[in-house]
Amino acid sequence: MKRHIIIAAILAAFSFTGMLAQQNRTQAIANAALKGWEMELRLGYNLGGTSPLPLPEEIRSIDSYNPTLGLALEANFTKWFGSEGRWGLVLGAKLENKNMETKATVKNYSMEIFGDNGERVAGNWTGGVQTSVKNAFLTFPVTAAYRVHPRTSLKFGVFLSYLMSGKFDGYVYDGYLRQGDPTGLKAVYEGDNRASYDFSDNLRRFQWGLQIGADWMALNHLKVFGDLSWGLNGAFKSDFHTITFSMYPIYLTAGAAYLF
């Protein structure tokens, strides 16, 4: 009996401590709201790709596109200013994946492939190209917010991303490579004969760009949102010249947020 009383007392103590902690958190959130601060957690899906704009003449057609699974988990802190709280500053921290898979038909496309013996062979490729991009970023968006309606706000600003892990690879098929230049030695790949390539080590670690978006308060604590991010400094390092044109990550993130 004595042991049961001790166990009951311990459980009661833990329950009381948890209740106090919950009350303190609730009070802290309420105090922050009175000072114009809001905090929210956001879960979104990234839809887009890493692409040149406009498409260069070397890319004759996009034959298939698969966005694959790209998720974004973000914490946002917003400070609203003025008595009406129309303008705000939003600071965020986000873990996200920006992925895609594409197939394209190209002509005289600058390329470096792995040869039959593992050697790298550079030249101009004409035929099919399959590309897979799987990048994981830690991203910090900083945006200005404007309430156009009590339930709706628009946002515009910048973002800075750090590439935690990156993959940009694929293979070429049903075509030929002119080694060195468009008139060089011809290597043909047809049917099941393919050659792979991997530019993952040439991806830029730090990327930055512009971000624009909108939030709508659907319920008391639930938002839906859409954010468009557009990288401005390119996906590859400045000393990477195999691909002769710049490629930019352009993604739309759509999802839901919980406002505390």
pLDDT in tens, 134-155: 999 999 999 999 999 999 999 9
Regarding whether 241 and 166 lie in a shared domain, the answer is yes
Regarding whether 196 and 84 lie in a shared domain, the answer is yes
* 37 has a pLDDT exceeding 70: yes
Rounded distance between C-alpha atoms, residue 56 and residue 106, angstroms: 10
* In the block, residue with structure tokens 């690879």: 169
Regarding whether 241 and 178 lie in a shared domain, the answer is yes
Regarding whether 112 and 31 lie in a shared domain, the answer is no
Could you tell me which residues come within 8 angstroms of residue 128 by beta carbon, excluding any fewer than 6 positions away?
A: 63, 103, 104, 105, 106, 172, 173, 174, 175
Regarding whether 143 and 200 lie in a shared domain, the answer is yes
Q: What is the pLDDT averaged over residues 76-83? A: 94
Lowest mean pLDDT among 13-17, 129-133, 217-221, 236-240: 13-17
Regarding whether 3 and 44 lie in a shared domain, the answer is no
Domain residues for 23?
Answer: 1-35
Q: What is the pLDDT averaged over residues 221-232? A: 97
- pLDDT (0 to 100) of residue 17: 46
What CATH number has the domain bearing residue 218? 2.40.160
* Number of structural domains the chain divides into: 2
| Average pLDDT over all residues of the chain | 89
Rounded distance between C-alpha atoms, residue 1 and residue 158, angstroms: 64
Nearest-5° Cα angle at 257, 251 to 260: 145
Q: What is the pLDDT averaged over residues 184-211? A: 94
Regarding whether 58 and 11 lie in a shared domain, the answer is no
* 24 has a pLDDT exceeding 60: no
Regarding whether 160 and 146 lie in a shared domain, the answer is yes
- pLDDT (0 to 100) of residue 15: 53
- pLDDT (0 to 100) of residue 35: 60
Regarding whether 49 and 18 lie in a shared domain, the answer is no
Question: Binning pLDDT at 50, 70 and 90, where does residue 115 land?
Answer: confident
* 89 has a pLDDT exceeding 50: yes
Regarding whether 165 and 128 lie in a shared domain, the answer is yes
Question: Binning pLDDT at 50, 70 and 90, where does residue 47 land?
Answer: very high
Rounded distance between C-alpha atoms, residue 97 and residue 137, angstroms: 6
Question: Binning pLDDT at 50, 70 and 90, where does residue 21 land?
Answer: very low
Rounded distance between C-alpha atoms, residue 157 and residue 2, angstroms: 63
Regarding whether 73 and 3 lie in a shared domain, the answer is no
Regarding whether 157 and 28 lie in a shared domain, the answer is no
Q: Shortest CA distance to 181 belongs to which of 260, 106, 123, 115?
A: 123
